[in-house]
Amino acid sequence: MTQSDPSAALRAILADPEFDTDWQEHLARWLGQAWHSFQRWLRDLPDIERWGLLLVCIGILAWLVWTMIASYREMMAPDASALKGAGDDAASEPTWQALMAHARALASEGRLREAARALQQAVYSVLASRKRLPWDGARADWEWVALLNTEQLVAFTEEAQALAYGSAAADTGLPRFEALLATADRWMRP
């Protein structure tokens, strides 16, 4: 190499791997240049275009936030196919006729407490169906009484609960159940 060609000597020195910069530095330099070009472009825009660009950016940001909220709501909502599938496997709603038959069968076995509960469920079921209310077996007795709003139901529920949860003796329990059954039979007629 001669001293007469300094540019060739400089190129040869810079081509040495010792002076080669890595890709991260190239990327950082390119991003810096792009950012400064963008800032110059923004400064050169007229005010109306700058405001328009700002509104477009706000609109895009609002759309992103809305999409995130909608996605979160959809993610947290119950899966309709899972609910539909669960309904197929679950036991169907008992009819008041089946509940009455079950109550009579329990009473004939001497299980008056369970018979009184089944009889209550039958009465609530028939009265709810007449008012076109959906059946909810988990609803408490007094919730049914408040929902069905029948004065005779209060006395019936008190007596059924006394039999189901009270200390009914075997000799007085059956006549009390028969009285409840007679009251329930009146509601079972249309």
What percent of the chain lies above the pLDDT cut of 70? 83
pLDDT-based confidence at residue 27 (cuts at 50, 70, 90): confident
Tens of pLDDT along 90-139?
Answer: 456 777 788 888 888 888 888 888 888 888 888 877 777 777 777 777 77
In this prediction the pTM is: 0.47
All structural domains of the chain with their residue ranges: 6-75, 96-188
Over range 23-45, report the average pLDDT. Answer: 90
**Gap between the terminal Cα atoms of the chain:** 116
Q: Can you give the pLDDT at residue 69?
A: 92
Q: Distance between CA 100 and CA 119 in Å, rounded?
A: 6
pLDDT-based confidence at residue 185 (cuts at 50, 70, 90): confident
Tens of pLDDT along 145-174?
Answer: 777 777 777 777 778 878 877 765 555 677
Crossing angle between the packed helical segments 112-130 and 141-148, to the nearest 10 degrees: 30
Q: Can you give the pLDDT at residue 32?
A: 94
Quick one: how many helices (H) and strands (E) in the chain? 9, 0
Say whether pLDDT at 62 is over 80. Answer: yes
Say whether pLDDT at 182 is over 60. Answer: yes
Q: Can you give the pLDDT at residue 81?
A: 53
